[in-house]
């Protein structure tokens, strides 16, 4: 009777190793989950900054005149939707760094400043846009608006690139209202 009592008192080395193995697997799972959460937080932060940059650029287009060179449309530019929203396709693409270098207009410089100060590294985000003229059939086919696709690209923490795209519309206020709105466009 005494020997059976001592048998049930303690745990064997095999039981202790099994418990340690289960604990280790749990800790490894938690560490992996923590690493994944950290990558997702970095991606979310970068995506938020990219969205802010795209909104700032879209806002800057509201402050420049309709006929501004940065909103010009290359003649004879025909492309499919897949080609149009591809930032790697250089046809008709205007890059923010090129536009900033070619102009002294404050609105675009404000968007560029937002990009440069948001992360501190201006090469982290690639910002570009394309413009589509929209003819109004009620005005004998005159172009009274330009639709602008703003694209921001940044590297993903897991590898590869992530694109954030937003649309802006710039109306020709003078053509639509018949009034000279140059003071409002400044």
pLDDT, tens digit, 9 for 90 and up, residues 131-176: 988 888 887 878 888 999 999 999 988 788 999 999 999 888 887 7
- pTM exceeds 0.85, yes or no: no
**Residues 6+ away with beta carbon under 8 Å from 144:** 134, 135, 136, 171, 172, 175, 176
pLDDT over threshold 80, residue 31: yes
User: Domain range spanning residue 8?
Assistant: 2-185
Number of separate domains in the chain: 1
Name which of 8-17, 54-63, 97-106 the model is least confident about: 97-106
Q: Are 134 and 146 in contact (CB under 8 A)?
A: yes
């Amino acid at each position: 009777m005494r020997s059976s009592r001592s048998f049930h008192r303690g745990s064997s080395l095999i039981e202790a190793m099994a418990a340690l193995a289960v604990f280790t697997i749990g800790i490894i799972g938690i560490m992996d989950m923590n690493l994944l959460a950290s990558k997702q937080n970095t991606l979310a932060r970068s995506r938020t900054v990219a969205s802010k940059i795209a909104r700032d650029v879209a806002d800057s287009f509201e402050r420049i005149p309709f006929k501004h060179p940065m909103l010009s449309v290359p003649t004879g530019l025909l492309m499919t939707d897949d080609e149009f929203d591809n930032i790697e396709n250089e046809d008709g693409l205007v890059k923010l760094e090129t536009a900033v270098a070619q102009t002294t207009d404050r609105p675009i410089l404000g968007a560029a400043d937002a990009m440069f100060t948001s992360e501190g590294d201006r090469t982290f985000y690639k910002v570009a846009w394309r413009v589509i003229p929209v003819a109004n059939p009620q005005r004998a086919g005159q172009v009274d608006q330009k639709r602008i696709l703003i694209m921001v690209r940044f590297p993903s923490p897991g590898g590869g690139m992530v694109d954030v795209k937003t649309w802006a519309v710039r109306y020709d206020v003078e053509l639509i209202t018949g009034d000279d709105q140059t003071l409002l466009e400044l």
